[in-house]
Amino acid sequence: MVLIAPSILSADFSNLKEEIIALDKAGADMIHLDVMDGCFVNNLTFGAPVIAALRQYTKLPFDAHLMVQHPQNLIEPLKKAGVDIITVHQEAATHLDAILSDIKKQGLKAGVALNPSSDENMVKYVLDKLDLILVMSVNPGFGGQSFIPSSLDKIMRIKKMIKGRNIFIEVDGGINPMSANQCIAAGADILVAGTAVFKGGTYKENIESLR
């Protein structure tokens, strides 16, 4: 069954404790944490101190997606904050193999994110260090964007490229019940959703509609 990872980028930031608890009760499989530095992308969100403060309110895996220029600087702080997965952008990682090795040395799962214009072959030489490949189906930096249809072909190509390896394919951006169906059919294992989960406050129903 596909896993649903609500992105707290769409949560009520004045009420994050209660939002995390509600997502847990609603049946979320993990919590997606969009860490933005205002440089790699225009927006600035939160970092390790906020994540550490939230860690006590759920046992769900924390899936940290780093949209930052120097991801290597955040690996140790995020480990201490309690994250389980760190995903870095291929476009921001000058020494991708080394960064993934550092993540694995911390005992964490390692992922690589690919922007819509990025070729999936960029990661074929680090597959042995990957637990997750994140396909960005919108341009990174802010929520509420429309799903980019060409992402479906990329998901299918990645599925062939990993050839049965134990690597999850995660999709982030413009996920709603229709695009979720398409992504699952293409081979996605994890769907990141913000607006589609939080709209109307009916978290459980919204999560189930994406499955």
- Tell me whether residue 104 is exposed, middle or buried, using C-beta atoms within 10 angstroms of its C-beta: 0 to 12, 13 to 18, 19 or more: middle
Q: What pLDDT was estimated at residue 33?
A: 98
User: Has 34 been annotated as catalytic?
Assistant: yes
- Cβ contacts of residue 53 below 8 Å, gap of 6+? none
Average pLDDT in the chain:
95
CA angle (182 as vertex; 177, 184 as ends), nearest 5: 90
pLDDT tens string 123-176: 999 999 999 999 999 988 766 778 999 999 999 999 999 998 999 999 999 999
pLDDT tens string 93-126: 889 999 999 999 999 999 999 999 999 999 999 9
Q: Is the pTM here over 0.85, yes or no? A: yes
Q: Which of 63, 102, 172, 189 is flagged as catalytic?
A: 172
Q: Mean pLDDT over residues 54-67, rounded?
A: 98
> Pick from 114, 132, 122: which is nearest to 170 by CA?
132
Q: Which domains, from first to last, does the chain contain? A: 3-210 (3.20.20.70)
Q: What pLDDT was estimated at residue 186?
A: 97
Q: Which of 29, 34, 102, 131 is flagged as catalytic?
A: 34
Q: What is the CA radius of gyration of the chain?
A: 16
Q: Mean pLDDT over residues 82-101, rounded?
A: 95
Other residues' Cβ atoms within 10 Å of the Cβ of residue 168 = 17
pLDDT tens string 15-60: 999 999 999 999 999 999 999 999 999 999 999 999 999 999 999 9
User: Has 172 been annotated as catalytic?
Assistant: yes
